Every structure is written in structure tokens, then in C-alpha cells.
């Protein structure tokens, strides 16, 4: 993204990963988890490629709300997850939320995202095993402000 000329604000929830990313990018990387995201109308887009797949399903609605708040009107949110129907653990003992397209679509609709796009692709995971990936893109729509009621 940086090579394409985008003004990127890199973040990672892990101090160790942020340090490695700083070396690769040559610029500071903010250490912040999605649960700590508290910006308001700050970003044109948020790219969460394989960044939210270890988050407990029950925590995703609040995180999606934080992302929604952090985006400017018309902003784009991209994320990817390992596809599945039930949350569980991989062979390394790491938790995955394993989302289905129906579950994710329902979450996005209930959180008032617009222009929702979901797709599944074949790939591999960190363990090298074949994996179905669920990719999503949604935008923060521009909703009209509610009109204040006036009294005579």
C-alpha cells in the first residue's frame, strides 16, 4: 500500500510484530489492538487481512462498531477469516473464530454496514493445511442526520 502511494498508519496488536514491521517499513508502527481502537472518523480504510480471525466471536460486534466509528463516511473495511461454522482450535492450539458467510453477513447488516461483499477462496493456513478463506469488504455509508423535532 505504501508503494502505491497510500498514506498508511500501520498498527499491530503485538509489540514484537510491530517492531519487525518497523524494520520492514522503515516507519513507526503503532502497537494497538482492535479492542483499543478509539479514533473517530479518522481513516479512509481499514485493512485487517487475517488480523481478526483469533478474536472471540462474541467480541467481534464491538470491534466492528469501533472500526465503523474510526472510518470516515464512505470508508472501506476489509477483513479476512478462516471460513467455517464453529469456532475452535488449530493443531497448534490457537483459537480461530471460523466464520461462515451467513454469520458474517448478518453481523455486518446488524451493524449497519453498506456495500457488503463476501467471497470464499482456497488457500493455506500457517500450518500449511488447505484452508477456505472468507474475505469481506464493506463500507461506512453516509446516513442522513436525524432531524431535530421543533416545537411551536
CATH number at residue 132: 3.40.50.150
Shared-domain flag, residues 82 and 94:
yes
Instruction: Please give the average per-residue pLDDT across 9-32, as a whole number.
Output: 94
Angle at 5 between CA 43 and CA 16, to 5 degrees: 65
Strand partners, 135: 80, 119
Range of the domain at 42: 35-139
Domain assignment of residue 113, yes or no: yes
Percent of the chain with pLDDT over 90: 80
Q: How far apart are CA 22 and CA 44, in angstroms?
A: 22
pLDDT at 148: 41
Chain position carrying cell 464491538: 62
What pTM does this model have? Answer: 0.86
Domain assignment of residue 131, yes or no: yes
Instruction: Please give the average per-residue pLDDT across 14-20, as a whole number.
Output: 95
Where helices occur in 95-143 by DSSP H, the ranges are 101-110
Confidence of residue 145 (pLDDT cuts 50, 70, 90): very low
Is residue 68 helix, strand or coil?
helix
Q: Given the DSSP bridges, would you call strands 43-48 and 71-82 parallel, antiparallel or unpaired?
A: parallel
Confidence of residue 126 (pLDDT cuts 50, 70, 90): confident
Confidence of residue 143 (pLDDT cuts 50, 70, 90): low
DSSP code, position 147: P
Give pLDDT tens digits for 38-59: 999 999 999 999 999 999 999 9
Shared-domain flag, residues 24 and 54:
no
Amino acid at each position: 500500500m505504501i508503494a502505491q502511494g497510500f498514506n498508511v498508519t500501520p498498527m499491530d496488536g503485538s509489540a514484537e510484530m510491530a517492531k519487525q514491521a518497523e524494520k520492514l517499513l522503515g516507519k513507526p508502527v503503532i502497537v494497538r489492538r482492535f479492542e483499543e481502537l478509539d479514533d473517530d472518523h479518522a481513516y479512509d480504510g481499514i485493512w485487517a487481512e487475517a488480523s481478526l480471525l483469533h478474536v472471540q466471536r462474541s467480541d467481534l460486534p464491538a470491534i466492528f462498531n469501533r472500526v465503523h466509528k474510526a472510518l470516515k463516511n464512505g470508508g472501506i473495511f476489509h477483513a479476512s477469516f478462516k471460513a467455517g461454522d464453529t469456532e475452535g482450535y488449530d493443531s497448534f492450539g490457537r483459537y480461530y473464530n471460523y466464520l461462515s458467510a451467513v454469520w458474517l453477513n448478518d453481523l455486518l447488516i446488524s451493524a449497519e454496514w453498506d456495500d457488503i461483499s463476501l467471497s470464499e477462496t482456497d488457500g493455506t493456513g500457517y500450518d500449511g493445511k488447505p484452508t477456505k478463506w472468507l474475505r469481506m469488504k464493506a463500507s461506512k455509508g453516509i446516513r442522513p442526520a436525524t432531524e431535530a423535532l421543533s416545537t411551536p
